């Protein structure tokens, strides 16, 4: 369900999956050391959390599974009825939105009730969802297929009503909204571009060429730099884009290339912007920004989703059963680049999101 934003997602953390980065070049972690990609996940004693943070995992059978990270225990699954593509949880932790084959479905996490699906245009498949910081409007990217240009559909979440379609590039696969709520960006896989959309007028701007086949995007809390992930078969790249108030003045920086990014499909940025966690079917990595140094890496599982905790201390990575490992949530310390916990899952994870700290209002 991917686009970190005001909500954390999946494929992306933040309001649509989403996450966000700093105004200038972020400061790389000073004491981190590179870990060879062939090295197994390091294991350490669990870190005592500063807050009891709950998380949610959307799994292949359509359930949302709550996770208590203070006790490493799974809660009672909440059936939604349909296998999800992405899950976006609002910052208050009360509502999740599931991106499904032909609709966006709201789920009340407090009452454990599933709302009426919000259908997208007939014959179209939503690929990602981003939600404005005030939680009022969702923007769903839609890829008609067949090489046709995609579009973005605004959704008034309180009523489920759809706005006018906003044209974007070919095969939009990810969405994100800046923290100030002024601009949405659609990531166009086969066009190799970003399409900025001015909010709330829903006016598309000129496409921004980022090269390659971009598959994911994250922005750090300052909202000044976006990082665009392209994961090729022989290696991938993270391209920084300095964001201006007027997207026509956005500046695309030099790509950070690494063999560790091969095949990766999702990205999340730490709150201070010093590193990125990237995942894909071939593994996962923590990459120092802007240096591009590999701080942590695993090629021992097929990873499907990643999210950064609200306090920025940990990353939560979901992996599916393969010949190399089972369905698992892996918790990694951002500061030490070491594995903290591995939590078994009963079904394959599709998307993961942190909720608010336990006991918060």
- pLDDT band of residue 153 (cuts 50, 70, 90) is very high
Which domains are delineated in the chain? Answer: 8-356 (2.130.10.10)
Exposure of 289 by Cβ count < 10 A (0-12 exposed, 13-18 middle, 19+ buried)?
buried
Mean pLDDT throughout 316-344? 87
| Predicted confidence (pLDDT) per residue in 243-276, tens digit | 999 999 999 999 998 888 888 899 999 988 889 9
Min mean pLDDT across 10-19, 140-149, 183-192, 321-330 is at 10-19
- Whether the pTM exceeds 0.85: the reply is no
| Predicted confidence (pLDDT) per residue in 41-52, tens digit | 333 334 333 344
Q: Higher confidence at residue 195 or residue 291?
A: 195
Question: Does 12 have pLDDT greater than 70?
Answer: no
The encoded tokens of residue 114 equal 């599933």
Question: Does 356 have pLDDT greater than 50?
Answer: yes
- According to DSSP, residue 13 is labeled S
Question: Does 143 have pLDDT greater than 50?
Answer: yes
Task: Please report the pLDDT score of residue 310 as a whole number.
Answer: 83
Torsion angle defined by CA atoms of residues 78, 139, 194 and 58, in that order, rounded to the nearest 10 degrees: 0
Question: Does 239 have pLDDT greater than 60?
Answer: yes
Mean pLDDT throughout 324-333? 85
Mean pLDDT throughout 284-291? 91
Task: Please report the pLDDT score of residue 13 as a whole number.
Answer: 33
Question: Does 31 have pLDDT greater than 60?
Answer: no
Contact 129, 4 (CB under 8 A): no
| Predicted confidence (pLDDT) per residue in 57-84, tens digit | 999 989 999 999 888 889 999 999 888 7
Task: Please report the pLDDT score of residue 360 as a whole number.
Answer: 38
Question: Does 1 have pLDDT greater than 50?
Answer: no
- pLDDT band of residue 231 (cuts 50, 70, 90) is confident
Mean pLDDT throughout 127-138? 95
* Distance from C-alpha of 100 to C-alpha of 103, rounded to nearest angstrom: 5
Task: Please report the pLDDT score of residue 19 as a whole number.
Answer: 35
Task: Please report the pLDDT score of residue 48 as a whole number.
Answer: 38
6: Cα within 13 Å, side-chain hemisphere: 21
Task: Please report the pLDDT score of residue 167 as a whole number.
Answer: 97
CA distances to 99, 103, 183, 195, 298 from 208, rounded to whole Å, are: 26, 28, 14, 6, 32
Task: Please report the pLDDT score of residue 246 as a whole number.
Answer: 94
Strand order in the sheet with 314-320: 302-308, 314-320, 328-333, 338-344
Q: Mean pLDDT in the chain?
A: 82
């Amino acid at each position: 369900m991917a686009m970190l934003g005001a909500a954390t997602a999946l494929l992306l953390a933040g309001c649509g999956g989403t996450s966000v980065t700093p105004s200038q070049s972020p400061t790389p972690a000073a004491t981190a050391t590179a870990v060879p990609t062939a090295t197994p996940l390091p294991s350490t004693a669990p870190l005592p959390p500063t807050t009891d943070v709950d998380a949610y995992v959307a799994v292949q059978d359509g359930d949302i599974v709550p996770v208590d990270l203070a006790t490493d225990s799974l809660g009672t699954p909440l059936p939604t009825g349909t296998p999800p593509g992405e899950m976006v949880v609002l910052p208050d932790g009360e509502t999740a939105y599931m991106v499904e084959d032909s609709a966006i479905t709201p789920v009340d996490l407090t009452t454990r009730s599933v709302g009426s699906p919000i259908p997208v245009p007939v014959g179209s498949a939503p690929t990602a969802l981003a939600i404005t910081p005030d939680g009022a409007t969702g923007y769903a990217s839609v890829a008609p297929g067949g090489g046709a240009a995609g579009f973005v559909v605004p959704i008034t979440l309180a009523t489920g009503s759809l706005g006018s379609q906003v044209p974007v590039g070919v095969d939009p696969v990810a969405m994100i909204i800046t923290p100030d709520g002024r601009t949405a960006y659609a990531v166009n896989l086969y066009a190799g571009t970003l399409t900025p959309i001015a909010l709330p007028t829903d006016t598309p701007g000129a496409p921004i060429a980022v090269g390659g086949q971009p598959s994911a995007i994250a922005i750090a809390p300052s909202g000044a730099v976006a990082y665009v992930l392209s994961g090729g078969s022989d290696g991938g790249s993270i391209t920084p884009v300095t964001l201006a108030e007027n997207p026509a003045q956005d500046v695309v920086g030099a790509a950070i290339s690494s063999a560790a990014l091969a095949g990766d499909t999702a990205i999340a940025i730490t709150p201070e912007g010093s590193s990125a966690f990237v995942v894909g079917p071939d593994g996962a990595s923590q990459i120092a920004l802007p240096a591009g140094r590999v701080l942590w890496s695993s090629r021992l599982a097929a990873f499907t989703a990643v999210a950064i905790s609200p306090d920025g201390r940990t990353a939560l990575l979901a992996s599916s059963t393969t010949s190399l490992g089972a369905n698992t949530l892996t918790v990694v310390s951002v500061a030490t680049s070491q594995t903290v916990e591995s939590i078994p899952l009963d079904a394959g994870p599709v998307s993961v999101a942190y909720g608010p700290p336990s006991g918060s209002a």
